[in-house]
Amino acid sequence: MTPFDLVEPPSLGEALKLLEPDDSAVRPLAGGTALMLLMKSGFFRPKRLVSLRAAGERLARIRIEPNGELRIGAMVRLAALEWAPEVRRDFPVIGHTLRTLANVRVRNVATLGGHLAHADPHSDLPPVLIALGACLVLAGPRGERAVPVEGFATGHYETVCKGDELIVEATIPPLGRRRAAYAKCTTRSADDWPALGIAVAWDDDGAIRSPRIVLGAATERPTRLKAAEALIAGRTLDGALLTRAGEAAAEEADVVADARGSVSYKKQLVKVYVARALRAAGAGPAAP
Amino acid sequence: MSATRRIRFTLNGQAAAAEIGTHETLVEVLRDRFALFGARESCSQGLCGCCTVLVDGHAVSGCLFLAAAADGVKIQTIEGLASGERLDPVQEAFLECGAFQCGFCTPGFILMTRQLLDENPAPSEDEIRHYLSGNLCRCGAYPEIIEAVKLASHKVKSRTPGGAAP
């Protein structure tokens, strides 16, 4: 790697001032696990990195609001999120998802904000956060704005976060009666990037209400499978519905081939894993 | 430009300081400034686990960790695990089970096992395999490694007050 200026502003406001949206060699630094790979390969040669390590308590905390909403600071390490007692209790799908994300050492360093801002389409959490209806709070020179995680990534490593903005925190509405699950498939080693990940969630009043089925990794960006969602809405899960939902999902999914599988192989995975994720969510206890 | 800086940290229980370049990784600094060669850069991508060190008790890949981020933290390397001549129970277990051949990956496996047992003193075989899935042993000593982790779990319990008898 080549030398660069490393600054560690003591507040979010200072950090925003140190960004230079028109200079791609100036970038924010969170845990650095992804950026380090880009720097070591020589793909990214920074002039200045703005470390958010000391940029304020708001970025570092996890808390449940009185209304049950979960707020996670952008600098919360993925392992801290995985082990947080309140997350394990109220949002078990998040801990379950994190347990299979990369490996222990990556989770010990990588942060939620970095995971989302990097916008690698193979990331595990975006599909889950979309299924749960999560939003991100972005801060910039004109103040703050909330954007849904659905629509945050616009393509490979591209997001709606502008060059002069930073992710401050993620907000996840209370699960309430929502059931949720995430199922992923890695086709090489267990800790490899997934070939696909499927997150599902729905409100359970005896029938399936407001379902979301979100496909990640196999598509250019995390994508809701709305035909499959419509198919299961208002119904109750049975074997025939699982099969039809899987088939509908595979039909509509715009999957892309890569080293982890061809299009036809991944379509088959979508069919199988949509059914698996739905079955897992249906089998687990609904939140009280 | 502030492309160099002085960092201070605790290294295996001792106060330490170093002049580093902002672009240097933790494993480079440990090897080049402190002659600690137990953490080795192998895959350079955080996949193999050979460069594992503990930062404030958490295992990290030293090859993906900026040395600058070590300012103010506690670092433990394989060299600091034994107490004098007395090996850590995890080290003992790896020796007793012959859980290595060439030994290149062993410091990483031992430090990962140390963190696993700190979090979960009695892991199941499935939990052990899952936890160590980010560490590679090219000699293929995996069966012995799994046995060593189980033995280490037993040793740790028997050394902990109130733990199970050996």
Residue A35 lies in a domain: yes
Residue A115 lies in a domain: yes
pLDDT in tens, A223-235: 999 999 999 999 9
pLDDT value at B22 more than 80: yes
Residue B86 DSSP class: B
User: Pick from B66, B68, B134: which is nearest to A103 by CB?
Assistant: B134
Q: Number of A to B CB contacts under 8 A, please give it.
A: 86
Residue spans of the domains in chain B: they are: 4-80, 89-159
pLDDT value at A288 more than 50: no
The count of structural domains within chain A is: 3
Tokens of residue A51, six digits? 């470390």
A157 and A226 together in one domain: no
The chain-wide mean pLDDT, for chain B, equals 94
A63 and A16 together in one domain: no
Which of the four pLDDT bands, split at 50, 70 and 90, describes residue B162?
low
The average pLDDT across A32-50 equals 96
Domain at A115, CATH number: 3.30.465.10
pLDDT value at A284 more than 80: no
pLDDT in tens, A73-111: 999 999 999 999 999 999 999 999 999 999 999 999 999
A159 and A235 together in one domain: no
The average pLDDT across B157-164 equals 66
The average pLDDT across A246-271 equals 96
pLDDT in tens, A63-82: 999 999 999 999 999 999 99
- pLDDT for the residue B165: 44
Tokens of residue B138, six digits? 């090219």
Boundary residue ending a domain (A172, A198, A221): A172
pLDDT value at A141 more than 70: yes
- pLDDT for the residue A188: 85
- Host domain of residue A213: 178-283
pLDDT value at A152 more than 70: yes
> What chain A residue is nearest to B46 in terms of C-alpha separation?
A106
Best of B50, B51, B64 to mutate (most A CBs within 10 Å, chain A): B64
Residue A24 lies in a domain: yes
User: Pick from B23, B52, B64: which is nearest to A33 by CB?
Assistant: B64
pLDDT in tens, A263-281: 999 999 999 999 999 999 9
- pLDDT for the residue A285: 63
pLDDT in tens, B54-83: 999 999 999 999 999 999 999 999 999 999
The chain-wide mean pLDDT, for chain A, equals 95
Least confident piece of the model among A272-286, B78-92, B150-164: B150-164
CATH architecture for segment(s) B89-159 = Orthogonal Bundle (1.10)
Which of the four pLDDT bands, split at 50, 70 and 90, describes residue A203?
very high
A124 and A77 together in one domain: yes
Residues of chain B in contact with residue A36, where contact means CB-CB under 8 angstroms, are 25, 64-66
CATH architecture for segment(s) B4-80 = Roll (3.10)
- pLDDT for the residue A90: 95
A31 and A62 together in one domain: no
Rg (CA), chain A: 19
- pLDDT for the residue A189: 81
Whether residues B134 and A105 touch (CB distance < 8 A) is answered with: yes
Which of the four pLDDT bands, split at 50, 70 and 90, describes residue A112?
very high
Tell which residue, A234, A280, A227, has the closest CA to residue A96: A280
A61 and A166 together in one domain: yes
pLDDT value at A57 more than 70: yes
A63 and A167 together in one domain: yes
A198 and A164 together in one domain: no
Residue A288 lies in a domain: no
Tell which residue, A95, A164, A169, has the closest CA to residue A135: A169
pLDDT value at A180 more than 70: yes
User: Pick from B21, B60, B69: which is nearest to A105 by CB?
Assistant: B60
Whether residues B134 and A6 touch (CB distance < 8 A) is answered with: no
The average pLDDT across B8-34 equals 97
Residues of chain B in contact with residue A104, where contact means CB-CB under 8 angstroms, are 59, 112, 115, 131, 134
C-alpha to C-alpha distance for A7 and A28, rounded to whole angstroms: 10
Residues of chain A in contact with residue B48, where contact means CB-CB under 8 angstroms, are none
Whether residues B22 and A3 touch (CB distance < 8 A) is answered with: yes
C-alpha to C-alpha distance for A170 and A237, rounded to whole angstroms: 31
User: Pick from A3, A4, A32: which is nearest to B64 by CB?
Assistant: A32
- pLDDT for the residue A191: 80
- pLDDT for the residue B163: 47
The average pLDDT across B143-151 equals 98
What's the start-to-end Cα distance of chain B, in Å?
58
